[in-house]
Amino acid sequence: MMSSSASVRSMLRIVRIVRSPGTRLSDRKMSTNLGSLERVNPEERKINLNPDKVSAEDCIALEDAHGAQNYRPLPVVLAKGKGCIVWDTDGKMYLDFLSAYSAVNQGHCHPKIIDSLMTQAQQLTLTSRAFYNNKLGEYCAFMTEKFGYDRLLPMNTGVEAAETAVKLARKWAYEVKGVPSGKAKIIFAENNFWGRSLAAVSSSSDPESYTNYGPFLPGFESVPYNNFAALEKALEDPDVCAFMVEPIQGEAGVVVPDDGYLKKVRELCTKKNVLWIADEIQTGLGRTGKLLCVDHENVRPDIVVLGKALSGGVIPVSCVMASSEVILTIKPGQHGSTYGGNPLACAVAKTAVEVLIEEGMIENSERLGKILRDELKQINPGVITNIRGKGLMTSMTIPEYENHSAWDFCMILKENGILAKPTHGDKVRLAPPLVLTSDQLYTTIDAIADTVKAYERL
């Protein structure tokens, strides 16, 4: 980290890129006009904050002193967001290329989502499920019609929804499939990530996630991701009731399976009478250029799990959708959540999905994601390798050396006005809000090119 905010500010250089679609990186003309980043009023390009408020350094010190140390954030303290742009406490502007791990697909503080939040917050926020409210039924009907499922079970966080899917699979195993009591097994893919609960880490192959949290839940087994032969063998066991998998593994480094893998998974699960659970918490809701990532192969899971961008990054909202046969295995009093299905969440989530579809964000993700990966391949194949992804869900591998790594790469990228984070050591995930503009994309590409040059000089 730089020694002072002034030093950090002096290093920030955000450029405007003027180019035609066919122009190569080296042919671009650059200027220092910030106006191309977003339709933001000039006075908003650097926001004025109260000089008497706590400094960025104090914010970090307070959190370090009084908060749990379970994250390692980049040393930047954010205070405002609009679309793809965020500002720190000094008023410096960045392009957000993490989107809160794909929770802010619709852009920071989308005005329609915020309007829904404010309107509903003045009417009714929480009833619990002890009573009906006037928003949950409308929300369930909207979602099941849009995604093609019979029923929706509302939860709050992604891990709650994923764990609900696991509970549903076990219920279905005993009450529909006829698996002997206590014998149901669920198959997961190695290197999965669906949260930090005890059930989630019981299925994990990442030592950082599971070390010293045992004993773990029984009945969980794993097969290598994208290994269909291994899955076939695992599903020979008649006690297997479900296979839960991410259509693209996000936290593992944006690992994309072979074309046709998901279609074969669908066919095999149908043949073996096994529920296919698609964890679309990170890949769903337009992130990969389709409403759901499984839509790339035109297949339908038995259970789909959504979270993160379901609220547009406003409040925690998640859900599980499935057939009546699956969801109605849970009877009143057997599972629930005080906040799940609250009217505030229902109003916000419905609007968040509407704007995603109506404003062309899914198509924008598909179009700009392809350009991003094509442009990354032109920069420096000696430094940026293993570029992969779909839509605006991309990762690249950065070489690690004795004294610097992908973390240092992201630190330099921050100084160049782009916020991203490494995952699994040498991989950098690039996942901006889906409202990204072409100008913002090319600004980012040049910032990455500058970062590569600086990284080579370390």
Which residues neighbour 11 within 8 Å (Cβ) at sequence distance 6 or greater? 2, 415, 416
Q: Which residue among the candidates 96, 279, 426, 446 is catalytic per the annotation?
A: 279
308 is catalytic: yes
Residue 444 lies in a domain: no
Per residue in 94-125, pLDDT (tens digit) is 999 999 999 999 999 999 999 999 999 999 99
Give the CATH number, domain containing residue 307. 3.40.640.10
CA distance 375 to 452: 14
Residue 205 burial class via C-beta count within 10 angstroms: exposed 0-12, middle 13-18, buried 19 and up: middle
With DSSP H G I counted as helix, E B as strand and the rest as coil, what are the percentages for the chain, rounded to 5? Answer: 40, 15, 45
Q: What average pLDDT score do residues 1-20 get?
A: 36
Residue 266 inside a domain? The answer is: yes
Residue 89 — very low, low, confident or very high, per pLDDT cuts 50/70/90? very high
pLDDT band at 53; cut points 50, 70, 90:
confident
Which pTM value belongs to this model?
0.89
Computed over every residue of the chain, the mean pLDDT equals 91
The per-residue b/e assignment along 136-165, b for 16 or more CB within 10 angstroms, e otherwise, is beebbebbbeebebebbbbbbbbbbbbbbb
Dump pLDDT digits (tens) for 306-361.
999 999 999 999 999 999 999 999 999 999 999 999 999 999 999 999 999 999 99
- Interatomic CA distance for residues 392 and 317, integer angstroms: 22
Q: What is the mean pLDDT of residues 262-291?
A: 99
Residues 437, 434: Cα–Cα separation, whole Å: 9
Reported as a pLDDT band with limits 50, 70 and 90, residue 49 is: low
- pLDDT of 42 above 70: no
> Is 279 tagged catalytic?
yes
The pLDDT score that the predictor gives to residue 54 is 79
- Is pLDDT at 381 greater than 90 in this prediction? yes
Residue 180: domain span: 111-358
d(CA 200, CA 193): 7
pLDDT at 36: 39
pLDDT at 28 over 90: no
Domain membership of residue 390 (yes or no) is: no
Confidence category of residue 52, pLDDT binned at 50, 70, 90: low
The token duo for 272 is 């073996």
Is position 343 within any domain? yes
- The catalytic residue among 308, 350, 390, 421 is 308
How confident is the model over 386-405, as pLDDT tens digits? 999 999 999 999 999 888 99
Q: Is residue 34 scored above 90 in pLDDT?
A: no
- Catalytic pick among 97, 147, 188, 193: 193
- Torsional class of 110: left (φ above 0), alpha (ψ -120 to 50), beta (otherwise): beta
pLDDT digits (tens, 9 = 90+) for 363-374: 999 999 999 999
Q: Tens digits of per-residue pLDDT, 161-204? A: 999 999 999 999 999 999 999 999 999 999 999 999 999 999 99
Residue 379 has pLDDT above 80, yes or no: yes
pLDDT class of 425 with cuts at 50, 70, 90: confident
Please answer whether residues 445 and 372 qualify as being in contact, where contact means their C-beta atoms are separated by less than 8 angstroms: yes
User: Cα–Cα distance between 349 and 346 in angstroms, integer?
Assistant: 5
| Residue 115 in domain | yes
Number of domains in the chain: 1
User: How far, in whole angstroms, is CA 137 from its chain's centroid?
Assistant: 26
DSSP state of 176: I
Q: Does residue 43 have a pLDDT over 80?
A: no
Average pLDDT, integer, range 26-50: 42
Handedness of CA 156, 157, 163, 169 (dihedral sign): positive
User: Is it the case that residue 84 has pLDDT exceeding 50?
Assistant: yes
